[in-house]
């Protein structure tokens, strides 16, 4: 395939949860591929920093608020005249605890952001992209959207649901030339994972090092963490013409955690 298939020149990509971790890495990879990146998130400072590094636009947005999502797409379109790509990445890790002790409000908050926040973005993106007759939507699911993990029932529930939405919506918008796919990262190194590990260590009464060795690095074929830019590169494939015939699918990026 021609190398230019992986370029995003002239395209506009909205990246939610773009101020750190996977979102920030995706913004960097996309900008290097020629995209104009619109970095969205709740933290004004972090999204401004990421946008500045990549010559993009920062838009403060809480994806759980539908009006703010509509404004996000409007600002992106006003800046460049088009919206070609959505990376539906905003999310939270949710409560880390056994279901018998579940904090129900924390569970609801996880569903509100990870699922309804994603739905708000999908609703607007589908309308905008179908009207334009083009587009690529990338939903950020997880390895925990493919198999449940102990004490992560809230997060797993949302990420399983996001895969079902990916398949359903891909069939809805496909006739208009819009593609919808999902990425399923495994354990990705960074601040979010550090917070998850700290909560899990407290809940299980074990050291972070023991949890990492037993549950993450030793059980992966490559014996290491996933780097955020590796998720960004997989997202680039799904955003670009290199994956022109791929829709309704999911790709694992997990260093071989079978």
CATH value at residue 73: 3.40.50.720
- How far is the C-alpha of 236 from the C-alpha of 74, rounded, in Å? 23
Under 8 Å between Cβ of 18 and 185: no
- Residues 56, 62, 64, 70: is their CA dihedral positive or negative? negative
Tell me if 202 is assigned to some domain.
no
pLDDT tops 80 at residue 215: no
Torsion angle of alpha carbons 5, 21, 254, 121, nearest 10°?
Answer: -60
Residues belonging to the chain: 258
User: What pLDDT digit, counting tens, does each position of 128-147 carry?
Assistant: 999 999 999 999 999 999 99
Is residue 216 among the annotated active site residues?
no
The secondary structure of 96-150 as a DSSP string is -S-GGG--HHHHHHHHIIIIIIHHHHHHHHHHHHHHHT-EEEEEE--GGGTS--T
Q: What's the mean pLDDT in 103-129?
A: 98
Beta-bridge partners for 41: 60
The secondary structure of 191-213 as a DSSP string is HHHHHHHHHHHHHHT--HHHHHI
Cα-only R_g, the chain: 18
Domain carrying residue 175: 3-188+227-253
Which pLDDT value is given to residue 48?
Answer: 98
pTM: 0.92
Tell me if 118 is assigned to some domain.
yes
Query: Among candidates 55, 36, 35, 58, which has minimal Cα distance to 47?
Result: 58
- Domains contained in the chain, number: 1
Tell me if 204 is assigned to some domain.
no
Which pLDDT value is given to residue 57?
Answer: 98
Tell me if 218 is assigned to some domain.
no
Under 8 Å between Cβ of 228 and 30: no
Tell me if 34 is assigned to some domain.
yes
- How far is the C-alpha of 188 from the C-alpha of 227, rounded, in Å? 6
Tell me if 201 is assigned to some domain.
no
Tell me if 83 is assigned to some domain.
yes
Q: What's the mean pLDDT in 91-110?
A: 96
Which pLDDT value is given to residue 104?
Answer: 98
Under 8 Å between Cβ of 145 and 100: no
Query: Among candidates 117, 112, 90, which has minimal Cα distance to 18?
Result: 90
Tell me if 145 is assigned to some domain.
yes
Span of 21-25, 102-106, 220-224 with lowest mean pLDDT: 220-224
Strands 85-88 and 57-60: unpaired
- Confidence category of residue 196, pLDDT binned at 50, 70, 90: confident
6, 66, 149, 155: which is the annotated catalytic residue?
155
Query: Among candidates 114, 84, 252, which has minimal Cα distance to 178?
Result: 84
- How far is the C-alpha of 174 from the C-alpha of 171, rounded, in Å? 5
Q: How is residue 240 annotated by DSSP?
A: S
Which pLDDT value is given to residue 3?
Answer: 61
Q: What's the mean pLDDT in 32-56?
A: 98
């Amino acid at each position: 395939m021609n190398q230019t298939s992986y370029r995003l020149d002239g395209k506009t990509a909205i990246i939610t949860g773009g101020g750190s971790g996977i979102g920030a890495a995706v913004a960097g990879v996309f900008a290097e591929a020629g995209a104009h990146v619109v970095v969205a998130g709740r933290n004004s400072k972090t999204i401004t920093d990421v946008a500045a590094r990549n010559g993009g636009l920062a838009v403060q947005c809480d994806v759980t608020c539908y009006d703010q999502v509509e404004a996000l797409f409007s600002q992106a379109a006003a800046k460049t005249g088009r919206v070609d790509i959505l990376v539906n990445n905003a999310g939270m890790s949710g409560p880390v605890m056994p279901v018998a002790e579940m904090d129900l409000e924390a569970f609801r908050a996880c569903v509100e952001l990870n699922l309804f926040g994603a739905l708000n973005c999908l609703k607007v993106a589908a309308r905008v992209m179908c009207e334009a007759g083009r587009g690529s939507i990338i939903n950020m699911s997880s390895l925990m959207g493919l198999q449940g993990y102990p004490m992560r029932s809230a997060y797993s529930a949302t990420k399983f649901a996001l895969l079902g939405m990916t398949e359903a919506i891909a069939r809805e918008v496909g006739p208009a030339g819009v593609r919808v796919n999902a990425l399923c990262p495994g354990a990705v190194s960074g601040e979010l994972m550090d917070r998850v590990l700290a909560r899990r260590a407290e809940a299980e009464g074990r050291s972070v090092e023991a949890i990492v060795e037993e549950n993450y690095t030793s059980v992966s074929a490559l014996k290491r963490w996933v780097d955020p830019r590796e998720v960004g590169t997989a997202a680039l494939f799904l955003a670009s013409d290199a994956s022109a015939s791929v829709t309704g699918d999911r790709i694992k990026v997990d260093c071989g955690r079978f």
